[in-house]
Structure 1
Amino acid sequence: MTAELVRLEAVTRTVVLPDDTDLHILTGVDLQVHEGDHIGIVGRSGTGKSTLLNLLGLLDRPTSGTLTWSGKDASRLRAREAAHIRGRDLGFVFQQFNLLPGRTAIENVMAPLMYASGREFWQRRRLAGEMLELVGLSKRADSMPQNLSGGEQQRVAIARALVRSPRVVLADEPTGALDLETGQAVMSLLDAATLESGAALITITHDTNVAAMARERFRLEGGRLHVLTDLTDVVA
């Protein structure tokens, strides 16, 4: 039986607007994430996908309900503890590749290892090189981001997200800046890489083609997650 990594129980998120009224973004989200899961979460624009991502990434806290990480109540985590989990156990892949300008592909992948210690720090170039080889870009290690195609840039971003062997990878519209064929290839790569490492992959998207690749699919609507059986129900 695979280990549970993240659990959300009746999680809500409410923000106060400038006119002092409450905006209820999430109204009761339940979700369990285990090692090796590939979960796709889809929904129309404005349904709270980014809010949910921020909670899963420990960048924000629920208004009510419980979010646990490896059995620990996230609301009780100190800022330093949450930051440590983000750096050690969470990998992020975004629609905008967010590569460092003026840094080569391998230097971009090495970036998270600059905050590591021991073997990870001292062997950071070798580890980054292995990740680039995994995503098929070993021959592009010394290329600058502006000299890479969109698909190649996203593969560098994936290598960077995986270089510290995270337990959970959060992908926010990871194919939004790519054409359909390139996007599907990138998602296949991301799915295979996380499956091999045993990491859980959570993809948040409005693209039904991306969602269809997940093994568990949910629709975010009305502030809650609903099991998704028919992808035609989702319209961006």
Structure 2
Amino acid sequence: MSELLRLTDVTRTVKLPDDTDLHILTGVDLTVSTGDHIGIIGRSGTGKSTLLNLLGLLDRPTTGTLAWAGHDTRTLRARAAAHIRGRDVGFVFQQFNLLPGRTALENVAAPLMYAPGSAFWKRREIAATMLERVGLGARLDSMPESLSGGEQQRVAIARAIVRGPKIVLADEPTGALDLETGAEVMSLLDGITHETGAALITITHDVAVAAMARQRFRLEGGRLHSLVDVPA
């Protein structure tokens, strides 16, 4: 396995309107390699979204080091970070975030609008293959509003993996689904990333979702604490 991300003593502090500092992350250490499945559990307000933004290169640490493939991201220009994010990071969100007025096929093909070479010209074919892979080959022309919650999340998964990312970040991916559908979606997401060798990082408040990961952490007090067993 090759190392993809390494966070060393990463902090994130924001300035409040009254000019005081809010310390969200106070010293996060994490190593992510190809094929990892990491579950991060935490209550609302513990900094899960802040950590996700850092992992997805949407934000930068206040202090500490975040290295991508061995390169310190503090040296990256915004354009270079956006290039890595678009090429190597897939996002799956709780609310699906599908484009309204666009078919399932068009939603999955959207990231390939910026792909180089043949991937751009074959984007509809590639998108169709991805939808087949998540069990929606018969719903290519369906609009999001005609799909169930589980189907919409499957479209979102297909969109996240269509460019072959190295890391998939799932932010409360089952939060809008019932228990049975959520379990099916997580099993699908875990299986697809395992097949492709992508690392999967799931950030959740759901202990059942976190328990599916092979490495598990609790985010508390601005730090990650390793868990052998996920508490009920």
> Normalising TM by the smaller chain, what interval?
over 0.9
Q: Which residue is 2:129 aligned to?
A: 130
Specify the code of the residue in structure 2 equivalent to 1:232.
Answer: P
- What is the TM-score of this pair, normalised by structure 2? 0.99
| 1:157-191, Cα deviation, whole Å (9 max, x unpaired) | 00000000000000000000000000000000000
Q: 1:77 aligned to 2:76? A: yes
Q: Which residue is 1:23 aligned to?
A: 22
1:230 CA drift (Å): 3.3
Q: Which residue is 2:143 aligned to?
A: 144
Q: Which residue is 1:222 aligned to?
A: 221
Q: Distance in 2 between matches of 1:110 and 1:10?
A: 38
Specify the code of the residue in structure 1 equivalent to 2:216.
Answer: R
Q: Which residue is 1:104 aligned to?
A: 103
Q: Distance in 2 between matches of 1:200 and 1:30?
A: 17
- What is the TM-score of this pair, normalised by structure 1? 0.97
Name the count of aligned residue pairs: 232
Q: Which residue is 2:93 aligned to?
A: 94
Specify the code of the residue in structure 2 equivalent to 1:192.
Answer: G
Q: Which residue is 2:168 aligned to?
A: 169
1:231 CA drift (Å): 1.9
Where do 5+ consecutive residues of structure 1 fail to align? none
Q: Which residue is 2:210 aligned to?
A: 211
Specify the code of the residue in structure 2 equivalent to 1:168.
Answer: I
| Superposition CA RMSD, Å | 0.7
The answer to whether the Cα contact below 8 Å between 2:211 and 2:229 also exists between their aligned partners in 1 is: no
3-state SS of paired residue (1:33): strand
3-state SS of paired residue (2:13): strand
Q: Distance in 2 between matches of 1:207 and 1:70?
A: 30
1:119 CA drift (Å): 1.1
Q: Distance in 1 between matches of 2:72 and 2:230?
A: 33
Q: Which residue is 2:153 aligned to?
A: 154
Runs ≥4 in structure 1, deviation > 4 angstroms? none
Q: Which residue is 1:37 aligned to?
A: 36
Q: Distance in 2 between matches of 1:126 and 1:71?
A: 34
The answer to whether the Cα contact below 8 Å between 2:10 and 2:65 also exists between their aligned partners in 1 is: yes
| 1:4-25, Cα deviation, whole Å (9 max, x unpaired) | 0000000000011111111110
| 1:193-229, Cα deviation, whole Å (9 max, x unpaired) | 0000000000000000100110000000000000012
